[in-house]
Amino acid sequence: MERHLRRFSDSFKKSPVKQNPQRYDPEDESDPIRMVLGDVELVYENREWQAAGGAESKELAEKNRLLEVENQLLKFKLNMMMDMLSTAKLDLLTLQNEKNMA
């Protein structure tokens, strides 16, 4: 006599197959997406964010360039100060060695 064994997992109901949701593509929209951050208006077009006003964009680019130049100058000054500090430390150590030897 054969005995039929039933598995525990057979008692679970199978979930129905779900449809994949439609993906949102901003390029499908006819109007570009606009967003205002402070005084700057941004527009999402051609898969990238751009400043809405051309003049504002040029002003920001010029300000960015000036800040980069200032940053380079500050880095140079910092390196000079570090060199001066290293030289002063070496001079101090040399004088302390000479004092201890005498």
pLDDT of residue 40: 80
Tell me the residue ranges of DSSP E strands in the chain. Answer: 33-37, 40-45, 48-51
Beta bridge partners of 43: 34, 50
What strands, in cross-sheet order, belong to the sheet with 33-37? 33-37, 40-45, 48-51
Secondary structure letter of residue 12 according to DSSP? S
Alpha-carbon span 11 to 5, nearest angstrom? 12
Task: State the pTM of this model.
Answer: 0.46
Instruction: Provide the token pair at 91.
Output: 């001079």
**pLDDT tens per residue, range 30-82:** 788 888 888 888 888 777 888 777 666 778 889 999 999 999 999 999 999 99
- Between 11 and 90, residue with greater pLDDT: 90
